[in-house]
Amino acid sequence: MVPRPRDAPTPPLPLTALALVFHALNTGAAVYRGRRDARAVASTLAPSLALALLLLCVRLLEGTPPAGASRRRRLRAAVWLLSAALTVAFARRFAAAVPPSGAALVWAMSAATVSVGFYALVVAVGHRGGGVIVVAAEDEAPGCLATQRHNNTRQGNTMPAMGD
């Protein structure tokens, strides 16, 4: 199998397209049911729009070459901001439906999620050469450059991995 160039767009998978259509239909039905209540329509459309923008930003981030560092930085910040907004929106709705102790737990978990997301997407990216390094096990991804680098370092080899 010939690897796809990094900047080539990936075609949407049928399951992904089906999920997006289902989400759009479900959102449309919810807006129709709440059409007389502007607050209900807004609380339905805002998260749906944020989700669509989040998926778009993730797609753009995946397609941006490493040379576009400033664009990647802006996209990572947008991904964090949109995911934080979705987390807070859902926590607000869920916390209203549970007892106060449960609401406190929901907000604590939301704050932890937003904080860790900020660290992973905005802060930690500047470390170790511009990206969060994920080292896969050799049996999971034998051709992975990160695995080759890890194995070379672990074995005391000074030769760089292929592609370096």
Domain of 66 in residue numbering reads as: 14-114
pLDDT score, position 9? 59
For the segment 44-64, the average pLDDT, to the nearest whole number, is 91
pLDDT score, position 145? 47
pLDDT band of residue 126 (cuts 50, 70, 90) is low
pLDDT above 90 for 144: no
For the segment 61-72, the average pLDDT, to the nearest whole number, is 87
Residue 149 is assigned to a structural domain of this protein: no
Residue 143 is assigned to a structural domain of this protein: no
Higher per-residue confidence, 13 vs 3: 13
- Domains in the chain, number: 1
Residue 41 is assigned to a structural domain of this protein: yes
pLDDT above 80 for 5: no
Residue 29 is assigned to a structural domain of this protein: yes
Residue 154 is assigned to a structural domain of this protein: no
pLDDT score, position 121? 86
Residue 142 is assigned to a structural domain of this protein: no
pLDDT band of residue 3 (cuts 50, 70, 90) is low
For the segment 90-108, the average pLDDT, to the nearest whole number, is 95
pLDDT above 70 for 84: yes
pLDDT score, position 140? 43
Higher per-residue confidence, 66 vs 24: 24
pLDDT score, position 163? 46
Helices (H), the chain: 14-33, 38-63, 69-95, 100-118, 145-154
Distance from C-alpha of 146 to C-alpha of 87, rounded to nearest angstrom: 31
Higher per-residue confidence, 7 vs 41: 41
pLDDT above 90 for 51: yes
Residue 65 is assigned to a structural domain of this protein: yes
CA dist 23 → 2, 16, 17, 27 (Å)? 34, 11, 10, 6
Residue 100 is assigned to a structural domain of this protein: yes
